[in-house]
Structure 1
Amino acid sequence: MIKIGIVGGTGYTGVELLRLLALHEDAEVVAITSRAESGRRLDDLYPNLRGYYDLAFTEPDVARLAACDVVFFATPHNVAMNLVPELLAAGARVIDLSADYRIRDAELWSRWYGEPHASPDVLPQAVYGLPELNREQIASASLVACPGCYPTSVQLGLIPLLARGLVDTQHLIASAASGASGAGRQAKVDNLLSEVADSFKAYGVSGHRHLPEIEQGLADVAGCPVQLTFVPHLLPMIRGIHATLFARLVDMSVDLQALYEEWYAEEPFVDVLPAGMFPQTRTVKGANRCQIGLQVPQGRDTVVVMSTIDNLVKGASGQAVQNMNIMLGLPEDRGLQQVGLLP
């Protein structure tokens, strides 16, 4: 049985990770940490987990965590980068769901996150945990940086176009919308029901922290720098991301529907919908799945790609479990066979 430790299990990604691992036949969570909730039973904070875990939150202890086979960080940014070096030195394998190791350039990270990176020397060890791109590297990694939710939906939507050199890399556009859980569990006026309900708004228009992560990943695929205009929006719902992506075609001779179907044919968690069918957030809710649809409106030179995920599953905790399965040589879909919830 794989011994799992979770640092910071009190937020939405933490409880989603616990939900998925509860039915993972090869995994046992043996340690879950929270300084604020130390001593409190897990099922007292999250009654949905009653009967699945007999655990209480503890203070982070490196020796106890290092004894685990895998340690997940379900923490805000700037937590993992202070603890991960010590865990790696002790021989632990780490999957970080925060943004601390996603951006390879420490100065670029600092510019977007407003503080110095605490362990820049560890950045070269981190493998970006998008399995559809980096499966082989993930398998041998000691540190995996799990992608953000917006970056997952946007990159999966654009990868085939950029890999084949079919679009203008300098004029990419992503208009993406997320449910309120993407903002985390902390108390903020902007997250109140009376603020979110019956409304739809853009935010981070001048620059969102996920932008450099997305551009880094897309540039790796394209083999050259890319420029993306990224505008996130807040939807009046709890879960889900819908990314609508626009790119100008430089080669219109390729059957794009066939390209996408072939590109993702062997990917267990990417579903390219039939021509003329477009994804909805409701059909991926609760599932570790990205659904993609595409169209070239009026047969002009702009392709529109629509990509949907559950921000807490394929956009966070489900993808983290997918990475764990790859790292440990397990079937990639182990513990991730949940069907999307309807209605």
Structure 2
Amino acid sequence: MRISIDNQVIEVKDAGTVLGAALDAGIYIPHLCAHPATGANAGMAPRSRIYRNGQPIVGDSTAPYAGCNLCLVEIEGQDGMHKACQTPVAEKMAVRTDSDTLRTARQANLAALLTASRHPVGCIACVMSDGCDRNICSMNTPEASRCCWKFHGCELRRVADHIGLPDGLGHTPAPPVSAGDNPVFSIDYSLCIGCLRCVSACEAIAQRGAIGFVNHAGGIAVGTVEADLKSSGCKFCLVCADVCPTGAIRENPARKKTNRLRRSLASSIFPPGNDVWLPLEAADLDAVPAREGVYRLCDRDQTVVQISGTADLKRDLLRERDEAESGTGFSFELDEMFMMRERQLIQQHMERFGDMPEKNKELDDLF
């Protein structure tokens, strides 16, 4: 089957959605509720009750989840806009992913999502984030609206950068609402945007169904299906943390373990202009030449953790793969003047983020 997206003809191997076909072809369509590992969440059925910290939250269970409404597209010969995550591909379909109408609608829908969830917007709208030391806010943003731990690894922020925020967003952020302590991960519900990725991942990937949602107070409330995680069936596999596009679910930083589910989990797809990372795995390292160059490592949030120049890219990346605390993704470039290029990239990183990558900082401290 052939369809065209933005005048680019692509071959579609199986009957899927416009969003899936576009992303498979490397054509980005904004999205937050859909994820490559679970598909679309629009249409999911709510529960009548969920729990946060053992306290029940009751809501309307009749209206299905509407979705984030960011993946809107136009289809030639059809009126209006369509959700790419729910629109099946059809032979000779012609899709447009960008127009003034689509941009305006996406901005309005993003604003509605942020307002309904009361997610802080100071971090998303900040024009001074590059090079920010995260200690003193040069924009005088109230502390509750400042950048959370996820910072530049935040998918919500990158999607907002791509779509653009309309003027006049002035809702009061929700106060931090933390879940009960456990040694594996922490939850801050005030950063939740109700995308339901965690709900679908727990159901489809972990096959536990420990997380649910209700329609509550004009928005989406996510929580456990029983009074606590254990009684809900949670096995602490952390696929929920891996698919979360915000800082709402955070793995304990001291925890270094992974598992089969997380290793096989498809990664989020970020807007164009962001770094393209390959998994630090044997299959992807096969194509790396044994030549001079510079490589970068990132963690699961696609934050750069190391920049290194080397005379043999393949050798050093194979070594990094075998080290337990190395990153999960990598990128590389060939350069015979690899030491000079390493210094340039580290300097650029410091100018943008205010500090050296974590592992470079550790090496610097040794000397």
* TM-score (norm: length of structure 2): 0.24
Question: TM-score when scaled to structure 1?
Answer: 0.25
More helix by share: 1
